[in-house]
A and B are shown apart, each in its own frame.
Chain A
Amino acid sequence: MTEAPVIELRDVYKSFGSNEVLKGVDLLVENDTSAVVMGGSGSGKSVLIKHIVGLLNPDKGQIIVNGKRVDQLVGDELDTVRLTIGYLFQSGALFDSMTVYENLDFFLERHSSDSESERAERIMETLSWVGLPEKRDEFPAQLSGGQKKRIALARAIIMEPEILLYDEPTTGLDPVSVRSVSELIVKLREEKGVTSVTITHDLLCAEIIADSIHFLHEGRFLTSGSLDEVRRYNHAAIATFFGN
């Protein structure tokens, strides 16, 4: 018997006004695997990932996470599913008015029954895990782009989610930071066994982290497979994207 997929999108459609962004997307992500969604700008990658966590609802189709129809959930039921998902935003989305420590504690304080000292220990452990324990008292504005991503990653994993969604985790980073953030994502899967979906157009990042790559074009997946398989797929959009 095969294990049910952790994330499943079935025939998902989404439009904004007259702009049809997703036109029948299907996606299966198995437990403990890393799926990467690639595609050109405006192909609907970010819209797709926002459906998985219920930030957007499809016009048609189903979004299933751990067997639950996210597109039909509201209120506390939706929150219960969301607590199993960590989300790394493209901009990091750290709270400007809070220090790094407060950014992490803000989540923990509201969702765990740990005492203050237990929370402090957990926060420092997580900051050490992303390699930035010394930044605990700094504000997001004092961090570099790569450091912001690492802190945002720390915040995404502080609740120990089963699933991680990465929206352009390496955008705007130099090649050294791209490699280090990508390796952190791999380490996260290896050590903590999380299932992930990553949106990226960064080939280096995709090469390091992907178990499978899904190429989105004009609201539909053109092809899926390994990086080489996708790269070899015969289509003008893929040739342009990869510079073949």
Chain B
Amino acid sequence: MHLDEKPVLRVENLTMRYGKGCPRCGDSLEKNRCRVCKTVWALNDVSVELFPGEVLGIVGESGSGKSTLMKSLYFDLEPSSGRAYLRDYKDGEVSIWTVGAAERRSIKNNLMGMVYQNPVLGLRMDFSCASNIAEKIIAAGGRSAGQMTERAAELLEAMEILPSRMSEAPRNFSGGMQQRVQLSKALANNPSLLLLDEVTTGLDLSVQAKVLDLIRKIKAKYGVSILLVSHDLAVIRMLADRTIVMLDGKIIERGLTDQILEDPQHEYTQQLVHSLI
């Protein structure tokens, strides 16, 4: 067996800071804020690898940098420094943060899918489900209306939404359904990387179970690699092969998911696991 396959995603030394930074930042941080210049280091030298077909869980408290990492990858935020390579973009040789706006749009629409915690960020609430999905296909160069409708119906059905409802706007849907429309949209162009940011947060238990089950099926059916942010350790336990733990913009621990949960090493991870209800 060979484990020398290229990672689908490789992030190196990602840093996101709000403020100019100063020479004292290195040893003057209080949590992630410099006492001297007040710069906030939302992400501080973060490196991550995600391998084909893998689910990598990211846990940490609010403000630890989880969502900032996701938004940087999806070009919603411009990182201060660092590099990110996608296996399917120029053979993983060029950092996606060095390219221009048009190229970024192409990467975003062809190679990635994103599901936000808040569906308002990922969907046009007043457009139909079909239009939402078509928007992603058109952005990637698709032009055939028939094929778009067919694809929308196929994806909505896979996400257990009746295709007959594809002309309805997500505004009329429940939270769980909106998340499933987001998943359909994210999968529209068969991305190799799926970014899931707190997708089950705020959903009731039975709906949460449905979304988890669908994510597992997506992984099996589409072979997509998934970066999964959640503060719910049960969700991470169910889905993630490996997990990283973030605190104050840094990765403080990484390992096999069951090892992180059963034998946590870092003080914060121990606190987190011991707080499990």
A and B are interacting partners = no
